[in-house]
Chain A
Amino acid sequence: MLEVSGLRKVYEGRRVEALREVTFQVDAGELVCVIGPSGCGKTTLLRCVAGLLPPTAGSVKVAGAAVTGPPPRMAVVFQEYGRSLFPWMTVRQNVELPLKEKRMPAGRRGELVAGSLAAVGLADVADAHPWQLSGGMQQRVAIARAVAYEPQVLLMDEPFAAVDAQTRADLEDLVLALWRDTGVTTLFVTHDIDEAVYLGQRVIVLSGSPTVVMEDLKIDLPPERDQLTTRSLPRFADLRGHLYAQIQRARGDR
C-alpha cells in the first residue's frame, strides 16, 4: 500500500542531509511504527511521505501511484493539535470541512461526522470550539477528522507527544480500536519506544542523521493489546530492551 524507496532529502539552503537512504514498505491494513533518536528526521520523512515536501531523490508510492503532492486519500494527524484545528470553527465544522471539499453529499457527510465524533467519544461537544477543549480532546478531534476522511493511508506524526501520560494511554487504545474497525493502513511516527512496541505490528528503527533504516522489526506480541497485560509480558520487555539498545546505538553513531 505504501512503498518508500531510496528516499533522500537534503535541505538545499542549509546543505543538511536529513535523510540519506530510507526504504521500507507498509502493506494494506498494517499498523507500522517508526522510531528513531531525536533529530533523526522523523518529521522530514513523514512530510515526504505525505507529499508536503519534495524529496531530493527516491520515491514514495501509495497504492502504486507516485506521490508528488498530498495524495487524495491520505490523512495526517499532526503533533501540534492546537495548531492543526481551525480555531474559528466548531468541532463539527472542523471534521466536516475536508468532506465538503470532497463534494460529498450532505446526508452522507452528516453520518460520517456524527459517526467519527461518536467513535472518539466527542459526540456531545460537537458545537464547542477546539480551544474550549483539553489537549487530549483536541487531538481526538483531529483523529475524528482523519477517520471521517476515509483515508487509504493514515499518517500520525508523534500525535501524543504533548499530552499527559493517562490521556496518552487512552488515545493509544483509541487508535488501536479505530485501526481495527477501519483496517486503515497506518504509519505512526513516535519517539516513544514503549508506544511503538505497544501499537505496532512492525517497528521501523531509523538511525541518527543522516538517516537510514537500521532495523525493520516484527512485533510478535498477541494481536489483542491491553495497557496492563501486554505491557507486562516478558516478550514486551525483550522487544523494548532490544529497541532501546538500538536507539542508543543510533545515537552513538553520530
Chain B
Amino acid sequence: MNGTGRAVTRVLTVAGVPALLVIVWQLYSAASQNFYVPAPGRVAQAFAETWFSERILDDVLPSLARLLAGYALAVAAGVGAGVAIGLSPRLRAAAEPVLEFFRAIPPPVLVPLIMLLAGIGDGMKVLVIASGCVWPILLNTVEGVRALDEVLSDTCRMYGVRGLSRLRHLVLRGASPQIMAGLRQALSIGIILMVISEMFASSSGLGFTIVLFQRGFQIAEMWSGILLLGLLGYVLALLFRRLERRVLSWHSGRGVGRA
C-alpha cells in the first residue's frame, strides 16, 4: 500500500467510530421527538456559543485551576508520604490498614464534611479533589518504593549514594513506573471530583454550569458541557501519556530491548 493510501486508512480507522456514533445520534434525534436529545448540529452550535465566550474565563479556567491545585497537592502529599511509608517497614505496618480504609471511602461523600470544615469556597473544592486523588498516588508510591531492587540499593550503599541523592537517583526513579500508574488513576478521579465539588454550593465552574443549564431546560447547552468535559479529560490524558513516555522511556525501552 502506498503512503497516501495508508494515511487514508489511518484517518478512517481513527475517525470511523466517532463518525458512526454521531450518525446514530443524528438518526435517533431526527426520528424521536424527545426534547432532551437535541440533534448533534444543535449541540455543536450551542457548544460554540456557550464556550467560546467569557465562560472560558468564568467557568472553564477556574475549574481547571482548582483541578490542578488539588492534583498538585495530592501529588506532593501522596508521593511524599508514600516514599516515607515505603522506606520504613515499621511505618508501613502501622499505616497500611488505615490507608486501605481511607481509600475505600468514596471521595464524593467527603464533600459535605469538607464543606463544614473548609467552607464553600475554592479551598473546599481543592481539598475535595486532593482528598480523592491522594490515595492511588500514595498507595502506588508505597508499592513502588517497597519493590526497589535490593542489589541496586546495596550498590548505592557501597558507592556512597545516600540522602537526597539516593532519593533522587534511586528511590524516585526506581518507583517511577508505579508512581506514574498512580498519577494516571488520580487524574481521572480528579476530573470526576472537580465536577462533583462544583455541583454543591458553587457559583462557577463546569459542574455548576451544567447543572444550571439542566435546571433552566437549556438542554443543548447542557449536552455541550458534557461534551466539553469529555474533551477535557481526553486532552489531559493525552498530555499525561506524553509525559509518561518521557519519564519512563528507560522502562519501556528495557522491556523491548531484552531480545
Contact = CB atoms under 8 A, between A and B. Distances in A.
Contacts of B157: 52, 69-70
Nearest to A74: B158
Given A129-B250, A131-B254, A131-B258, A84 B161 contact: no
B253 A129 contact: yes
B152 A83 contact: yes
B158 A132 contact: no
Contact of B160 (A84, A89, A101): A101
Contacts of A100: 165
Nearest to B165: A101
A229 to B, nearest CB: 36
B154 A78 contact: yes
Contact of B149 (A69, A70, A83, A102): A83
Contacts, number: 67
A179 interface: no
A119 interface: no
Interface residues of A, number: 27
A47 B153 CA distance: 13
A107 to B, nearest CB: 20
B159 A97 contact: yes
Contacts of B254: 87, 129, 131
B257 interface: yes
A134 to B, nearest CB: 11
Interface in B228-259: 250-251, 253-254, 257-258
B155 interface: yes
B169 interface: yes
Contacts of B257: 129, 131-132
A193 interface: no
Interface residues of B, number: 23
B148 to A, nearest CB: 11
A13 B170 CA distance: 28
A98 B160 contact: yes
A86 B165 CA distance: 13
Interface string A62-99: 00000001101011101010011011110000000110
A74 B157 CA distance: 11
Given A72-B160, A101-B161, A131 B253 contact: yes
B253 A83 contact: no
Interface in B131-163: 149-152, 154-155, 157-162
Contacts of A145: 159
B161 A97 contact: yes
A86 B162 CA distance: 15
Residue with the highest number of chain A CB atoms closer than 10 Å, among B176, B250, B251, B258: B250
A185 B253 CA distance: 37
B173 interface: yes
B169 A97 contact: yes
A133 to B, nearest CB: 9
Given A101-B165, A129-B250, A131-B257, A84 B159 contact: no
B158 A52 contact: yes
A78 B253 contact: no
Contact of A149 (B150, B154, B159): B159
B227 to A, nearest CB: 40
A98 B169 CA distance: 11
Closest A-B pairs by Cβ, 7 of them: A98-B159, A83-B151, A88-B250, A131-B254, A101-B160, A88-B173, A76-B158
Given A70-B157, A86-B169, 16 more contacts: A50-B158, A52-B158, A78-B151, A78-B154, A83-B151, A83-B152, A84-B151, A86-B152, A86-B173, A87-B250, A88-B251, A89-B169, A100-B165, A101-B165, A132-B253, A132-B257
29 contacts: A52-B154, A52-B157, A69-B157, A70-B158, A72-B160, A75-B158, A80-B151, A83-B149, A84-B152, A84-B155, A86-B152, A86-B169, A86-B173, A87-B251, A87-B254, A88-B173, A88-B251, A97-B161, A97-B169, A100-B165, A101-B159, A101-B160, A101-B161, A129-B250, A129-B253, A129-B254, A131-B254, A131-B257, A132-B257
